[in-house]
Copies of this chain bind each other. A is one copy, B any other.
């Protein structure tokens, strides 16, 4: 099976990168790249495994983890932790490379957005603490418009909140 057409040039960038590093361009590495560059979703390792197998390729999980490590090091792919107990991966080509995520607690939908306030926050860290930022991680959790309009309610953990009365 062939990868989505849009993904092909990005997979080529990865292949070129591998050759530049003197690393073999293997069938499995390309299969993982096909999947990751072929979508704008934020994929888990299990999802990547399933899609590679759906394409007719056999692959082991260890190879997926090792290939993702290469992709993240190359900075062609970003790794995220949305607090689910596992990591998710998204490619950084054909989209705004720097963006943050709105994560819906009702339906798990992830919306990408960018705020220029983030620059100010980093500037503030420099001005106030002499801190030199190299990267930041921002996730906003809540309800997406659809869930909000559908009246979805988030469980309130079920317990009272003493901090408000302190």
Interface residues of A (CB under 8 A from B): 13-14, 16-17, 20-21, 73-76, 81, 83, 92-93, 97, 102, 104-105, 111, 113, 115, 117-118, 120-122, 124-125, 128-145, 148-149, 154, 157-163, 166
Which residues in B have their C-beta under 8 angstroms from that of A161? 74-75
Whether B131 and A142, one on each chain, are in contact in the complex, defined by CB atoms closer than 8 angstroms, is yes
Which residues in B have their C-beta under 8 angstroms from that of A136? 138-141
A115–B145 Cα gap in the complex (Å)?
Answer: 26
Whether A141 and B137, one on each chain, are in contact in the complex, defined by CB atoms closer than 8 angstroms, is yes
A134–B165 Cα gap in the complex (Å)?
Answer: 20
A35–B7 Cα gap in the complex (Å)?
Answer: 52
A selection of 15 A-B contacts at a CB cut-off of 8 Å is: A13-B166, A14-B162, A16-B162, A17-B160, A75-B163, A81-B83, A92-B163, A97-B163, A102-B131, A113-B124, A113-B125, A117-B118, A131-B140, A131-B145, A132-B143
